[in-house]
Amino acid sequence: MKGDQLRFWLLLSTGLTFFIAIVLCIRTTVEPDIWWQIRTGEYILQNLEVPYNDVFSYTYSEVRWINVKWLSEVLMSLVANSIGAESLFLLQMFVLIGILITFFQIPSIKINQNLNLKIQQTPAFFFSILLFLIAFSFRINARPEMFSHLFTAIYCLLFWYYLHNRRSYVLLLLIPGSILWANIHEAYGVGIVFWIIVAVGRAIELYFKNDPQKTWKNWLYLSAIIVCCFLCSAISPNGTAMWLKPINIIDQLGENQFTTELIPFTET
């Protein structure tokens, strides 16, 4: 494939990929609790505080509430009040574009030295992205979880740089990332799982590495960053309660079906 043909292929494939992503984001807001989230964001903006109990619930009004996704609710409220709730898909669109840009930032791997062909320039790469969009489309719904999808992609990129290029400094970005993620959606526990997998995998690699000195300095640096990220997740209106929240979220989906306020009036 000649240079001009390659550039045309890349331009066409990239444009088509982003076009499909944008089209998938254009849909009607149907999730009932999105309106609850928008109203909570309005409450936070009006009172300049994160509520510690659900002020809109008539069954759990006095129960302690650990609102993890308060920052998502503020962003959703700003969009809804500025250009209408039906425009929340724009927020989802920007997030999904951010995810795709992150994928395109995967360090270049040359698979053809003669053509200087990189993995991002192959049909297989774009086909994989297309399959991802198709499989992922049912979760493209402008909910706060979209930010966890973005952070998951960013974490994958950062760990890729660390593991393949030994760029230890990129791990420092995990610290502000963990703080932001812990204030934007409950699934920040996914980041903790990533830390554990990378730390254990790196330790196993060093253990079996043919190196008499068994240099663990880099691993200790990684471990220190991980501990710091975990501790910094408490930089939130909910404080140290955030350390155990990822464990409690396991039961959340089961409990949500009993949320009285979300039961349609036709079923009451």
Same domain flag for 195 and 136 = no
Give dist(CA 229, CA 186) in Å, integer. 16
Q: What is the average pLDDT across 29-56?
A: 88
Q: Given 104, 122, 143, which residue is the final one in a domain?
A: 143
Same domain flag for 72 and 193 = no
| Owner of token pair 């964001």 | 41
Extract the tokens encoding 25. 């984001």
Same domain flag for 67 and 196 = no
Q: Which helix (H) or strand (E) holds 199?
A: helix 189-208
Q: Which helix (H) or strand (E) holds 192?
A: helix 189-208
pLDDT in the model for residue 10 = 80
| Amino acid identity, position 97 | I
Same domain flag for 135 and 242 = no
- State how far the alpha carbon of 181 is from the alpha carbons of 74, 89, 194, in Å: 14, 20, 13
pLDDT tens, 161-208? 888 776 778 889 999 999 999 999 988 989 989 889 988 988 888 878
Overall number of domains in the chain: 2
pLDDT tens, 72-119? 999 999 999 999 888 899 999 999 999 999 988 876 555 445 555 566
- Is residue 266 pLDDT above 50, yes or no? no
Q: Given 103, 124, 143, which residue is the final one in a domain?
A: 143
Q: What is the average pLDDT across 58-73?
A: 84
Q: Over the chain, what is the mean pLDDT?
A: 83
- Predicted TM-score (pTM) of this structure: 0.86
How many C-beta atoms surround the C-beta of residue 189 within 10 A? 20
List beta partners, residue 64. 53
Q: What range defines the domain where residue 200 resides?
A: 145-268
Angle at 95 between CA 93 and CA 97, to 5 degrees: 70
| Amino acid identity, position 100 | L
